[in-house]
Chain A
Amino acid sequence: QSVLTQPPSVSGAPGQRVTISCTGSSSNIGAGYDVHWYQQLPGTAPKLLIYGNTNRPSGVPDRFSGSKSGTSASLAITGLQAEDEADYYCQSYDSSLSGSLFGGGTKLTVL
């Protein structure tokens, strides 16, 4: 089954580090396809955060970083700030679906 699995929620205190996992399979992440991450603030369109597993678009703080290994990927946020409270989604390509696939999303709460 073509699914990207994310934890429904994560939380952390200001200044802390949190990670969000994205677990796929041999038809998507495990097949070598890139993973991308998006941040969605309440009531707004998603915003590209990380592309090509590890790359940050211009303007994205270096507090955000991405990694990928095997059939999984992770988004790490260091120096957590209140403004980071949002939903985060991973996305990849799936060969079984012949199209893009999003993870279910993770709600980050800054305590």
Chain B
Amino acid sequence: QVQLVQSGAEVKKPGSSVKVSCKASGGTFSSFGLGWVRQAPGQGLEWMGGIIPFLGTPNYAQKFQGRVTMTADKPTNTAYMDLSSLRSEDTAVYYCARKRAGHFDYWGQGTLVTVSS
């Protein structure tokens, strides 16, 4: 059974950066894509981008271009999402999810990132 375990909650100051990790187990990490989706309080799901660990090439939503970096470390089966220049609107729960044939079949538990001065 595939399991995605994310790092813990973070509180950040405006203008700083946050790095969220997502460790995969129970599956072949490199074979599928890994996406990142966020959900602001009381709001819907928003796709941020993704990466195929085998290829190492990320694909970012235009909204986050220049502010987000997604990487994957194959030896440790861990993916990372780094978001910089944080502002209050970035306060959200950030999810990683395995992407297979266009859909997200396994999800991490979510990481709450709070941006506050």
Binding site for B on A (CB under 8 A): 33-34, 36, 38, 40, 45-48, 51-52, 57, 87, 89, 91-93, 97-105
Contacts and interface: CB of A to CB of B under 8 A. Distances in A.
A45 B110 CA distance: 7
25 contacts: A34-B101, A36-B103, A40-B45, A45-B95, A45-B107, A45-B110, A46-B107, A47-B107, A52-B101, A52-B102, A87-B44, A89-B44, A91-B104, A93-B102, A97-B62, A99-B50, A99-B60, A100-B35, A100-B50, A100-B99, A101-B47, A102-B37, A102-B44, A102-B47, A105-B45
> For B99, B103, B105, B109, which residue has the most chain A Cβ atoms within 10 angstroms?
B103
Interface in B77-117: 95, 97, 99, 101-105, 107-110
B45 A46 contact: yes
B73 interface: no
> For B50, B60, B61, B109, which residue has the most chain A Cβ atoms within 10 angstroms?
B61
Contact of B101 (A45, A51, A103): A51
Given A45-B109, A45-B110, A103-B44, A98 B103 contact: no
Interface in B30-61: 35, 37, 44-47, 49-50, 59-61
Nearest to A55: B103
Interface of B: 35, 37, 44-47, 49-50, 59-62, 95, 97, 99, 101-105, 107-110
A31 B13 CA distance: 42
A87 B45 CA distance: 11
Given A91-B104, A92-B102, 15 more contacts: A33-B102, A36-B102, A36-B104, A40-B45, A46-B45, A46-B104, A51-B101, A52-B101, A52-B102, A87-B44, A97-B62, A98-B59, A99-B50, A100-B47, A102-B44
Contacts of B60: 99
